[in-house]
Amino acid sequence: MEKQISRRVLRFRLISSDPDQIRAEASVSSASTNKEVKANKRVRKFDDEFIKYGFVCTEDDEPRARCVMCLTVLSNESLKPNKLHRHLHTKHPESIGKPVEFFQKKVGHLKCKQHFMTTFTDVNQKALEASYRVSYRIAKSGKPYTIAEDLIVPAVQDIAAIMFGEKEMQQISQIPLSDTTVSRRIFEMAENVENEIIMRIRKSLDSIIVSTLVQLLKEPSRSSRQDQI
């Protein structure tokens, strides 16, 4: 018994005198505690009946509830009828007592809205890229900036309408190509090229300065050796 106590005392003294050991043991203890908490944590399942409270399941690793009216996302621990009903009662009292079809329509509107936003973002990004590409070609050709709005856009719209259809022709009009926009795009690209050139020059100058300093540091040692000879 005394030997065990003396070993514990000695171990305590060694640990207390080594802060790295203290941090290592603390991190191990914390990691094991986190693992135990995650292992003991109960993951609740989403019930399709929650639609009567105005909630749908999110597409996450852990099921969570999204309100179809305010788009608020509740945690997995909130997947309880009383908590979902409380949200409906406090945030959307005007929807209490509504039939399930009412919330299902909200779900359809939500999906349409999400699809529209995704499509709009994709089209907007492509229109922005097309605007820069056309502006780049105008800058290379040296033509006036108004050529995009006066000639290029109408010509491309005619081609799209004939080859593809009315829908594709309407998408062409989403490309920002006014004379002020083309001017701004060309200025931004020129500024970007200028900054890139400046950065490359600075890097090359830094390498030249470093190599020169190295040569200068080597020269005194050579001269001292010659003096000794």
Q: What is the pLDDT along the chain (229 residues), one digit of tens a residue?
A: 544 444 554 454 444 444 455 455 555 555 555 555 455 567 888 888 888 888 988 876 788 888 888 888 888 888 888 999 899 888 888 888 888 888 888 888 777 666 555 555 555 788 888 999 999 999 999 999 999 999 999 999 999 999 998 888 888 888 889 999 999 999 989 888 888 888 888 888 878 887 777 777 776 555 555 555 5
Q: Is the dihedral angle over the CA atoms 64, 66, 67, 72 positive or is it negative? A: positive
**Residue 3: helix, strand or coil by DSSP?**
helix
- Which residue shows structure tokens 């590409």? 133
Q: Report which of 107, 126, 36 is spatially closest to residue 67, judged by C-alpha positions.
A: 107
What is the model's pLDDT at position 15?
44
What is the model's pLDDT at position 100?
85
What is the model's pLDDT at position 205?
83
Q: Is the whole-model pTM more than 0.85?
A: no
Residue pair 88/95 in contact (Cβ under 8 Å)? The answer is yes
What is the model's pLDDT at position 143?
92
What is the model's pLDDT at position 168?
84
What is the model's pLDDT at position 2?
47
Q: Kind of pairing, strands 65-67 and 73-74?
A: antiparallel
What is the model's pLDDT at position 5?
44
Q: Report which of 127, 143, 123, 141 is spatially closest to residue 177, judged by C-alpha positions.
A: 127
